[in-house]
Structure 1
Amino acid sequence: MAGSDHPDQFPWRSGEVDDLPTLGTVIDTLADVSRLPGGPGARLTSVRVLADSFRSEFASTGTPDSVETCDLVTLPYPTKFGLFRASRAIAPFLSITNRMLVIRWAEPDGRRRTLLFEPSDHELGEYTPYFRDLSKGVPSIVKRAVRIVHGDVVSHLDRLGIDPGDVDYLMFDHLHTQDLRRWIGTTAEQSDLGHVTPTFPRAKVIVQRDELAGMAELHPLQRPWYQPSTYRDVPAEAFHPIDGSVILGPGVAVVKTPGHVFGNQTLLLNTSTGIWASSENAIATEALTPVHSRLPGVARWSERWHQEVVLNANTIETTADQYNSLVLEKLLVDRSQRDPRFLQFFPSSELTGRWTNPGTTPTFIHGQIAHRS
C-alpha cells in the first residue's frame, strides 16, 4: 500500500484540520455526549433528556425524497467483538453484511443533493491491518466460502441511474477499514493503483474533526483498524469536517456518537415509517432491546448485568461513551412496524445468519431502509 503510517505522512495536522471548511446546520439541542458534565452515569442521564427534546425537532424538518439500500459484502467478524461479552455462541466468528444507503433530497432553493452513506471500497478494505493479519494462512477456497460479494458501489449507482459526478457527499460512521483513494482521487502516483482520478469528483467526505485529528497520530488501540498511509496523498479539500451534530437536509442529520471511535457519527433519517438511525455502534437491532433476543446468552447477560444495549466492541477507545451513544440512538428512533419489540436501528454492518456460524442467527433483521416521499 502507498506510504507508511507515520504521522508525518498524514495530510492534516491539528491546525490544518481547523482550517478546513464546514457544512450543515448545527443542532444546538444535541450536545456531544462525551463532553456533557459529570461522570459517565451522569452523562447517560443527560442523554435521555437530550434525546427526548430533539426527536420532535428532527421530525419537523421533513423527509428526504428517497432512501435506497445497496448490499455490498458479507464477511466474517469475531463474535467476541460483535456481541461483546453477551454471546454464548460456540462459533468464534459471525457474519455481517455491509450495506450502502443512497439518500436524495432537495434544498429549499431546489438544488438536488445525493449522499452515499457507507460507500465502502471493500476490495481495498481487505488491506486493513486486522483483516490482513486474520487472512494470513487461510486458503483461498475458504476465503471465498466465508466472504460473499453482493455488488460494488459504482454498479449499484448505475442500477439506480445515478451519475457518480452528481454525488455531493460521502459519509461513513467512522473511517475504520476505509481506503478512499479511488473515490476522491490522489495528488500523486500510487505504488499500487497508479494515477488515481476521482470516481466522485464533486463529492465531499463528511467526517468529524475529532476523527481526522485522531488519525493524524494513531494510538496503539486504533492502529489495527485504520489504513492511514492511504490518506497521505488524498486531497484535503475533498473533506467537509463537522463538529458535533448537524442537519444536512429535510429528514437527514448527522449525530455525533463518540465511543466506538472518538469521532464516531450516526446517520439519522426521517422516513415514511418514522425515524431511523444507522451506525456500527451495534451489529444487530436486537442489541438495542436485548431482552427480546434469542441469540444464545444475550438476553440473560443483559438481565444479569443490567445492560440495556450490547455494543459492537472491536475497539475500546471510550466504552462508556459508546454505551451512552447507543442509548441515544435507541431513544431517537421509532419502533419497527414489522415487529414493535425491535427498533428502527439499521446497523451499517448487520448481523447475518449463516450455517457456518451456529448460534449467531439474528432474531430479527431489517435488511434495508426503503423510502420515497
Structure 2
Amino acid sequence: MTDTPTTHPTTTDVRSLGARTIPEFDGVHDIWPRGDRLEAVRSAAVAYKKRFTAQGQVTAVKSVDIASAPYPVKYGFNTAVIGPHSPLIPIINRMVVVQYDDWDGRPRTLVFEPTVPEGSAKAPFFDKLQRLMNKIPYANRAEQVIVNYYNEPDEALAQVGLGPEDVDFCAFDHLHVQDPRMILGSSTNIPGEQAPRGPIFGKAKMLVNTRELATLQNLHPMQWAWYVEGSLEGVDLDKFATFEGDIELGPGVALLWTPGHTDGNHSLVVNTPDGVWVSSENGIALDNWQPEQSRIPGVKLYHQQYGREICPNGNTLEDSLDQYDSMIKEKTLADPSTEDPRWLQILPSSELAPWKRFWPVVPTHHHGGIDYGTIRAGRR
C-alpha cells in the first residue's frame, strides 16, 4: 500500500469553480430501505433531467482514443457470460474534451479520462496480469492482439487543436489504475525515472470526489489491487479541486455522483444537439445498461432470471446495490441514440471493442466515440 501520509481532503467551494450543486439529488443516496432508495434516485433523475436539458448545451465535445487493454470477461459482465469465449476481451480507453461556459459565464475546457497507459500498467491488478500473460504462450499472443497505444493524453489534446494552457480542469470517473503524478506533476521522482514529472495540462486542477481522493490516501485491502501505489507522492494536493455529491459545471455539463463501483465514482453528463450523453465505467458496453437487448450469450438471460434492469461491470463491487442505483440514474438521464433509438446515448469511458475475433463477446451496439461542435483554442 502507499506510504503517503493520510491527509483527508477538504471540500472545495464549487462556486469557486464556476459550478453549483444539484439539489434534486440531495439525500437520495441515504434513503432506507434500499428499494425506496432506488425509486428515489430514479425520480430525482427524472426531475433533474428536465431542468438540465432546459439550461442549455455544451459548446463542443470530442473524444480521442488513448489505448486498448485486456480485461477479464468475468468482470465486464459480472460473470453473466456463458458458453465458449476468450477469458480476456479488449476495452478501449478514450479521452473526452468538453468545452462549455461555466455559471459565471467564463469559457472552460474540461479533459475527462486523460489516462496515461504507462501509469495504469503499474496498478497491482494489471501488473500481475502482465506477469501471468508473459508466462502463458496463448495469453501472450492475445496480448499482442489486444494491446494497442493510440495517443498519449498530450497527443490527444494536440489532435483537437489545444495546448496545455487551454485546459481548466481534468477529471476521471474514479481513480482506478490512474497515477496522478503523471498528470498533475510531482516534486519527487517516480521510481526508475531520472527527474520529476511536470504537469501535462499546465495549471489545470483535477476535479475529484472527496471520497475518491480519501480512498487513494488510505486504501482498504479489498481496494488495493486497482489503485497505483505511491501515486500521490510529491503531488501538490492543492492541484485537486475536491467536492461532494453532484455538481453541474455549467449549462449542459455535470458530474453526477454515481457510487458503487467506488465510493467516489462520478459520471460525466453532457447535453448536445442530439440530446443527453452519459459517460462512466459502470459498464463497458451498452449491453450492461440494456441487457434485455444484448446478444452476448448469458447477458439477456441474466436480466431475465434475476429481473435486473442492468448488468454491472463487476471488477470491484464496493457496493453492488449502490452501483445498480447509479446505473439507473445514468439510464434515466441518457437520451435515445439518433442513429438507433433502441439504444441509449451512454458512452463507456472504457468501451468494449467491436472486434470480431473476440466473438461472441462483442458489443451488440457500439457508439465508438462522441463529436459535437468545434473545439477551439484560446477561449480563456
Q: Which interval holds the TM-score relative to the shorter structure?
A: over 0.9
State yes or no: 1:18 paired with 2:19: no
Name 2:82's counterpart in structure 1: 88
Alpha-carbon distance in structure 1 between the residues aligned to 2:133 and 2:292: 37
Deviations 1:114-157 (A, max 9, x none): 10000100122101100000110434665333201122211121
Alpha-carbon distance in structure 2 between the residues aligned to 1:89 and 1:112: 51
State yes or no: 1:165 paired with 2:162: no
1:321 Cα offset (Å): 0.3
**2:286·2:364 contact (CA, 8 Å) conserved in 1?**
no
Opposite residue 191 of structure 1, the aligned amino acid is P
Name 2:200's counterpart in structure 1: 199
Alpha-carbon distance in structure 2 between the residues aligned to 1:26 and 1:167: 22
Q: Structure 1 residues 259, 108: closer, same or farther in 2, change over 3 A?
A: closer
Q: Structure 1 residues 209, 269: closer, same or farther in 2, change over 3 A?
A: same
Opposite residue 131 of structure 2, the aligned amino acid is K
**1:33·1:325 contact (CA, 8 Å) conserved in 2?**
no
Alpha-carbon distance in structure 2 between the residues aligned to 1:187 and 1:279: 31
Name 2:367's counterpart in structure 1: 366
Q: Say which SS state the counterpart of residue 229 (structure 1) adopts.
A: coil
State yes or no: 1:255 paired with 2:256: yes
1:108 Cα offset (Å): 5.9
Opposite residue 20 of structure 2, the aligned amino acid is T
Instruction: In structure 1, list runs of 5 or more residues that go unmatched.
Output: none
Alpha-carbon distance in structure 2 between the residues aligned to 1:40 and 1:292: 26
Name 2:233's counterpart in structure 1: 232
Q: Say which SS state the counterpart of residue 355 (structure 2) adopts.
A: coil
**1:32·1:256 contact (CA, 8 Å) conserved in 2?**
no
Name 2:44's counterpart in structure 1: 50
**1:165·1:199 contact (CA, 8 Å) conserved in 2?**
no
Alpha-carbon distance in structure 1 between the residues aligned to 2:103 and 2:249: 12
Name 1:28's counterpart in structure 2: 23
Alpha-carbon distance in structure 2 between the residues aligned to 1:42 and 1:21: 31
Name 2:2's counterpart in structure 1: 5
Opposite residue 280 of structure 2, the aligned amino acid is S
Name 2:210's counterpart in structure 1: 209
State yes or no: 1:305 paired with 2:306: yes
Q: Say which SS state the counterpart of residue 95 (structure 1) adopts.
A: strand
Aligned counterpart in structure 1 of residue 73 of structure 2, from 75, 79, 91? 79
Deviations 1:286-331 (A, max 9, x none): 2211111111111122011101101001001111000000011001
1:83 Cα offset (Å): 0.6
Q: In angstroms, what is the RMSD of aligned CA positions? A: 1.8
Aligned residues: 364
Aligned counterpart in structure 1 of residue 128 of structure 2, from 128, 133, 154? 133
Name 2:63's counterpart in structure 1: 69
**2:109·2:166 contact (CA, 8 Å) conserved in 1?**
yes
Alpha-carbon distance in structure 1 between the residues aligned to 2:287 and 2:341: 11
Name 1:189's counterpart in structure 2: 189
Name 2:337's counterpart in structure 1: 336
TM-score, structure 1 as length reference: 0.93
Alpha-carbon distance in structure 1 between the residues aligned to 2:24 and 2:261: 22
**1:33·1:258 contact (CA, 8 Å) conserved in 2?**
no
Alpha-carbon distance in structure 2 between the residues aligned to 1:31 and 1:195: 41
**1:283·1:348 contact (CA, 8 Å) conserved in 2?**
yes
**1:20·1:241 contact (CA, 8 Å) conserved in 2?**
yes
Q: How high is the sequence identity, in percent, across the aligned residues?
A: 35
Deviations 1:47-92 (A, max 9, x none): 1211111011111221111000101111110001001132115221
Aligned counterpart in structure 2 of residue 117 of structure 1, from 104, 112, 118? 112
TM-score, structure 2 as length reference: 0.91
Instruction: In structure 2, list runs of 5 or more residues that go unmatched.
Output: 135-139, 375-380
Q: Structure 1 residues 89, 240: closer, same or farther in 2, change over 3 A?
A: farther
Alpha-carbon distance in structure 1 between the residues aligned to 2:357 and 2:131: 20
State yes or no: 1:324 paired with 2:325: yes
